[in-house]
Amino acid sequence: MITAQDLIAKVQSYNPKSDADLIARAYAFGAAAHEGQTRKSGEPYFTHPVAVAILLTEVKLDDATIVTALLHDTIEDTKATYQQVANTFSPEIAKLVDGVTKLTNLELSSVETEQAENFRKLLMAMSKDLRVLLVKLADRLHNMRTIRSMPKEKQRQKAHETMEIYAPLAGRMGMQFIREELEDLCFSVLNPEARNSIMRRFINLSKENDDLIPRITEDIRIALNTANVEARVTGREKRPYSIWRKMQEKNEPFNRLSDIYGFRIITENVQDAYIALGAVHQRWSAVPGRFKDYISEPKSNGYRSIHTTVSGRNAKRVEVQIRTRQMHQVAESGVAAHWSYRGGQRAENPFAVDPFRWLRSLAERFEASENPDDFLEHVKLEMFQDQVFCFTPKGEVIKLPRGASPIDFAYAIHTGIGDSCVGAKVNGARVPLWTKLRNGQSVEIIRAEGQRPQASWEDMVVTGRAKSAIRRYMRDEHRDAHIRLGREIARVSLGRVNKKPTDKALETAAKLFNLNDGNALLALIGSADISGSDLVQTLYPELVKSGSSAGPASDEERVIGLSPNQSATPAPCCSPVPGERIVGIAMPGRGVLIHAIDCPILEQFEGNDRRWVDLRWTPDSSRACNETKIEVAMANDAGVLGRICTLIGEHRANIVDIRFTNRKPDFYRIRLDIMVRDIEHLTNVETALKADSDVAEVIRFRDTSLCELAKNDSGESNN
């Protein structure tokens, strides 16, 4: 394990004025606190904090961050307390250690709604001091390097979380070396076969090309010397995950990729960078469409570099990146450049962006977002997507994710421009709104008074801002209709426990759902975000448990053919009702399931006569109510659902539940659980519904998704 003196020497190599005593005390404190603890690999636990601190010295971070790395697990995993750390070191260091602890406790790979809230907490912690995130990223990198000692399932869970959150977050913060290694380490856990395949191809390629990288590197140096440019030139093979991702994006095999090899030219100033570009293009042919100038148009995380792909030695296509030394520092360490030291002084880098600008922007958008999932989607899009740069007719630059459309462009300018967009011109030519924009294009948005966002736009946009604006408008546009639908669903659902949707009941339920008022609740019920059953369960759980609504007689009393002590229940797949032919299937441990004779699941039990039970309905079975399911396709117009519910009620059938199974701009498909006496009663209800001009289809619902269960049960029986 690296000693305290070794660590101090590394820090003092870039910061001679470093407080050696502070680092030595932190090393001793951490070692004592973790005494006796071991990692899954069997190593002393303190080797991990030391490794994290060493990682942070690579980006030349300040003393407080190095000390935080040494102590980052003490408050969480040892007897050390926040106050003890504050008294022994400083309140600043205690806050940093506590911030890392809180990030560690967030389950960022949990279900979506919780994930959105936890991600918000992560951003709040980052906004207080971004060094918390830098320590956490280094912590995650070392954990991923040593992940093989953990159980397989835990490896996959951590790899998924890292690939989804921490790797793109490192990229968004500009820390490319951490992002690339995290992605590749996750790749080896999540898809080891693919990574091994690419590694084998690399080995074969190296045998074929032998010393290709050193030779091309020397060719570039000769070209730069001819142009009188002093620069550092390096070359490397791309990482396996980067190669695999390009194979997936371009749908091309390994041997067709053009940029397996990458080379960097690091110059002293911007003028030399452009001279170097000219020297490279003069020496080799540039590949059309593979040139990007991020010096004149930097990425939002501060990244600046010239990218070009050329046909190099032996016609091998290689990517060349050209940037200055200061740009390279930002490209590799990103926001960490703000805390970097050189010669004992905080290094001033004119190309480093304000690390809090993006966080402030996110905080504002989160406050304006009604739906935390929308916010999370927007953040992920911003982190994952590369950017394209387009121009307004006045020459202003608009930055968008790759794959953005003119609608994204319109909303990026102003929400009002997006809402009123009816068309677009790209480079002076009219294009469809679903067109994907490319770098350097000039985009003009055509507007019309009275135009409003369309539901279909959501499938054409990729930015969180555009998606949120469209969804917000559609919610507001349909809010009144959803409230009316919700009121009808609430009336039907509460009616089956003999209750009414009074204003008092709705206000009470709204508070239980953490909503502002009854109308907000009705809107969510009408938009199928909350079901009628959820409303009843929330308001009257005891009535639901006790079954106070009028129910049918016991299932055993309604059928003939059961053996003594044999129980029976209607099969959920077909929900049979009296009047239609039925058959029973004996299910081990579950009694007899009553199926309609035309239930598709019965095919799975052919040839297994021992399971079949001959059943028929009793003469008085239709005196009780029987639950069954129908699906209705209806026009998406105001009042249609109300008429459907009224028709069912007029035929003295009771609606148990309503679920929206498919919602399109013009038609809805709903599934209704209804109580009827028998097949004749059901047929009368279906006929009345089919007669409505706004009803396109009425069918009996059969839940064929239960076929797999039947297969498993029948298979077990036959073995």
Element (H, E) at 549: none
Q: How many angstroms separate the CA atoms of 538 and 546, rounded? A: 14
Q: How many angstroms separate the CA atoms of 55 and 175, rounded? A: 12
3-state secondary structure of 260: coil
Number of neighbours of residue 210 by Cβ within 10 angstroms: 9
Q: Which two tokens stand for residue 666?
A: 């013009």
Number of neighbours of residue 203 by Cβ within 10 angstroms: 10
Q: How many angstroms separate the CA atoms of 518 and 533, rounded? A: 16
- Bridge partners (DSSP) of residue 633 are 669, 697
Element (H, E) at 168: helix 167-172
Number of neighbours of residue 101 by Cβ within 10 angstroms: 20
Q: Which two tokens stand for residue 363?
A: 């905080």
3-state secondary structure of 488: helix
Q: How many angstroms separate the CA atoms of 382 and 464, rounded? A: 8
Torsion sign (Cα): 673, 677, 683, 686: negative
3-state secondary structure of 578: coil
Number of neighbours of residue 97 by Cβ within 10 angstroms: 26
**How far does CA 521 lie from the centroid of its chain?**
27
| Contact present, 464 and 374 (Cβ < 8 Å) | yes
- Left if phi > 0, otherwise alpha if psi is -120 to 50, otherwise beta: which for 528? left
- Left if phi > 0, otherwise alpha if psi is -120 to 50, otherwise beta: which for 397? beta
> Is 43 a catalytic site residue?
no
3-state secondary structure of 360: helix
Q: Which of the 8 DSSP states describes residue 44?
A: B
Burial of 339 (0-12, 13-18, 19+ CB in 10 A): buried
- Parallel, antiparallel, or unpaired: how do β-strands 591-596 and 231-237 relate? unpaired
Q: How many angstroms separate the CA atoms of 572 and 595, rounded? A: 9
Q: Which of the 8 DSSP states describes residue 576?
A: -
> Is 77 a catalytic site residue?
yes
- Bridge partners (DSSP) of residue 321 are 264, 307
Identified catalytic residue from 43, 76, 332, 692: 76
Using the CB atoms, write b or e for 543-560: b if 16+ within 10 Å.
bbeeeebeebeebeebbe
Q: Which of the 8 DSSP states describes residue 38?
A: B
Q: Which two tokens stand for residue 306?
A: 């010239």
- Parallel, antiparallel, or unpaired: how do β-strands 568-570 and 591-596 relate? parallel
Which amino acid type is present at position 580?
Answer: E
| Contact present, 490 and 533 (Cβ < 8 Å) | no
Strand order in the sheet with 667-676: 654-663, 667-676, 626-635, 695-700
Burial of 438 (0-12, 13-18, 19+ CB in 10 A): middle
Q: How many angstroms separate the CA atoms of 243 and 298, rounded? A: 24
The DSSP string of 314-354 is: GG-EEEEEEEEHHHHHHHHHGGGGGT-EETTEE---TT---
| Contact present, 165 and 182 (Cβ < 8 Å) | no
Identified catalytic residue from 77, 164, 219, 507: 77
Q: How many angstroms separate the CA atoms of 11 and 231, rounded? A: 27
| Contact present, 594 and 584 (Cβ < 8 Å) | yes
Element (H, E) at 45: none
Residues with a catalytic annotation lie at: 76-77
